[in-house]
């Protein structure tokens, strides 16, 4: 199946997920991954659906798979970083967030905007713990 067709289906699945039917969207994304098993974007979409369903171990695995095929996939980096953070692995989360922002310094993607917001929140928390005044 041509990549353009796969991505049209992925867009439809994304819309279905946005409408609150994440399990249905996940089924579509998994089918797309079966059709294109080396596509980083599609694996990342599977990860996002699992995240929405709060199935974090499966989401992590999907983001890892996505990053095997494209180590610079910012959405996968941020998704994996968010799971690292949930697991208490702050250094790994910071590394993923920082790398995603380095790849999108103008913060064009929602994921890198989230990563920057998370980094700023973590910095503010660290500053409070250390008794330093936070900068806006």
Are 25 and 14 in contact by the 8 Å Cβ rule? The answer is: yes
The residue extents of the domains of the chain are 1-70, 75-129
Sign of the alpha-carbon dihedral angle for 98, 101, 103, 109: positive
What are 92's two structure tokens?
A: 């790994």
Give the helix ranges, DSSP H, for 19-135.
Answer: 22-35, 40-52, 56-69, 74-86, 90-103, 110-130
pLDDT number for residue 135: 59
Does pLDDT of 2 surpass 90? Answer: no
pTM for the full predicted model: 0.90
Overall average pLDDT of the 9-21 stretch: 96
Report the top-level CATH class of 1-70. mainly alpha
pLDDT in tens, 27-40: 999 999 999 999 99
Burial 9-28 (b: 16+ CB within 10 A, else e): bbeebbebbeeeebeebbeb
């Amino acid at each position: 199946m041509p990549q353009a067709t796969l991505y049209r289906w992925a867009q439809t699945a994304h819309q279905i997920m946005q409408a609150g039917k994440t399990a249905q969207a996940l089924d579509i994304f998994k089918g797309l991954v079966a059709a294109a098993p080396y596509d980083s974007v599609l694996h990342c979409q599977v990860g996002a659906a699992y995240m929405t369903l709060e199935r974090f171990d499966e989401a992590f695995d999907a983001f890892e798979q996505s990053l095997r095929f494209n180590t610079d996939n910012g959405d996968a980096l941020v998704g994996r970083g968010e799971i690292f953070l949930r697991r208490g692995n702050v250094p790994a989360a910071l590394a993923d967030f920082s790398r995603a922002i380095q790849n999108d310094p103008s913060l064009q993607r929602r994921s890198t905007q989230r990563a920057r917001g998370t980094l700023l929140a973590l910095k503010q928390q660290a500053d409070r713990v250390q008794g330093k005044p936070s900068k806006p």
